[in-house]
Amino acid sequence: MFSSDRPSVMLFRFSLYGFLKNQTYFEPFLILFFLEQELNFFEIGVAMGVGAAVSNLLEIPTGAAADLYGRRRCMVASFVIYILSFLILATGTAYWQLLVGVALVGSADAFRGGIHKAMILDWLRAQGRENERTRIYGYTRSWSKMGSAVSVLIGAALVFMTSNYRLIIGFAIIPYVLNLINLATYPAYLDAVPRQKLSLTAVLRHMYQVSRESLNHPMLRRLTWETIGFQGVYEAVKDYLQPVLKVAALSSPLFLELGDKQRSALLVGLVYFVLHLLASASSRHAHSLSQWCGSDERASYRVWQIVALGYVALLPALYFKTSSIVIPIFILLACAQNVWRPILISRFDAHSDPSVGATLLSIESQAASLATLILAPLLGYVIDLATSLEGGTTERSFWPIAVIGAVPAILFSIDTTTRRTSTSHSGDH
């Protein structure tokens, strides 16, 4: 499967990490949970923005701390914070308590950020397998998506049986404790640094040096902008599939004898299960697209073009309330994101210094968080306006998703096409 040797124990543990990390049984129902708390879409957008803001503030410092003081230790700290955040979200009732829970999730995301990816890339270098970056990261990411598929089935079953969103938030603590044990027992060499005294000055100096390098390096700067346009936008829009599915489920003539939550759980569970299975396959075969296109760069261009077509097609599909088209487009966008992500990480690693990998990938992750921080409240506000004009929530209420997604996708598709054409012409001369 990989080179000539059998997959190692560490490859199994990297994959297990991703599988357990994605046992977030509440994720396909999180916006529905917020709506149940009588929040409007703007308040939900603010909550998502708070999580992104906290992650944004901490992303680079935690990456720098990981490079300087140990990546494994920062990962363990991340999962302790996750567990605390789940406890608060599962028990909090006031809006401020939900914001605290979301903020803690954002801080845990910051600690986790690019750190585990950097550990995988370091392991590949130690194995002399740098040329397998896209394949190996795509493989481990595919197990993350397989974990999501299993998580959706468990979450949907729990909602169907209990009609209780809070229960499934608390239930996610169990796999996170197991993953905490998995991470804590990673080999010590994956900390990648000698033990040294904690120094805020050293962290700030390291942050400044790596940030300056990423801004001055043309390719790293471009990759960061791609992250903003793709990952940042996708994180802001992807969860709106949940209310679209709820609208579709409640308008369906099937299973009328069931309650609203049960009908929603059936459709949400089915669609997300298929979505994550296809996303897993997409991630696992991302390297095949790179090989077929001839390079990671060309494969990335192809993905941008597919995404642009997807968002453009989403606009009329939402406007004319055709769920049968909207849902497959969301699935297509998820698959494209899971092909693009391993390719992007490989491109970052190819243009960067391994010793600053965690910090650099944290900068990449922070760029996405910053975009989400800005877009999530704005998107929620515009959707609220569209909903009020519609006189209620329908598929048409979500047309702003297509517009926000299409603009950067079209711009990058045009830009990459122009770059390829100019490169081809210069090669002819």
Whether 290 has a pLDDT exceeding 70, the answer reads yes
Q: What's the pLDDT at 352? A: 66
Summarised one tens digit per residue, pLDDT across range 18-45 is 999 999 998 888 888 888 888 888 888 8
Domain boundaries, the chain: 11-188+197-428
CATH class of the domain at 11-188+197-428 = mainly alpha
Helix orientation angle between 71-91 and 173-184, rounded to the nearest 10 degrees: 170
Helix orientation angle between 71-91 and 41-69, rounded to the nearest 10 degrees: 160
Whether 88 has a pLDDT exceeding 90, the answer reads yes
Q: What's the pLDDT at 89? A: 92
- The answer to whether 398 and 244 have CB atoms below 8 angstroms apart is yes
- The answer to whether 402 and 314 have CB atoms below 8 angstroms apart is yes
Summarised one tens digit per residue, pLDDT across range 317-357 is 888 888 788 888 888 998 898 888 888 878 877 776 665 55
Summarised one tens digit per residue, pLDDT across range 201-230 is 665 665 566 666 666 667 777 888 888 888
Whether 367 has a pLDDT exceeding 90, the answer reads no
Q: How far is CA 294 from CA 2, 136, 208, 297, 343, in A?
A: 20, 18, 35, 8, 12
Instruction: Give the confidence band of 9 by pLDDT, cuts at 50, 70, 90.
Output: confident
Summarised one tens digit per residue, pLDDT across range 153-195 is 898 889 888 888 888 999 999 999 999 999 988 887 777 555 5
Show the tokens assigned to 177: 């404790």
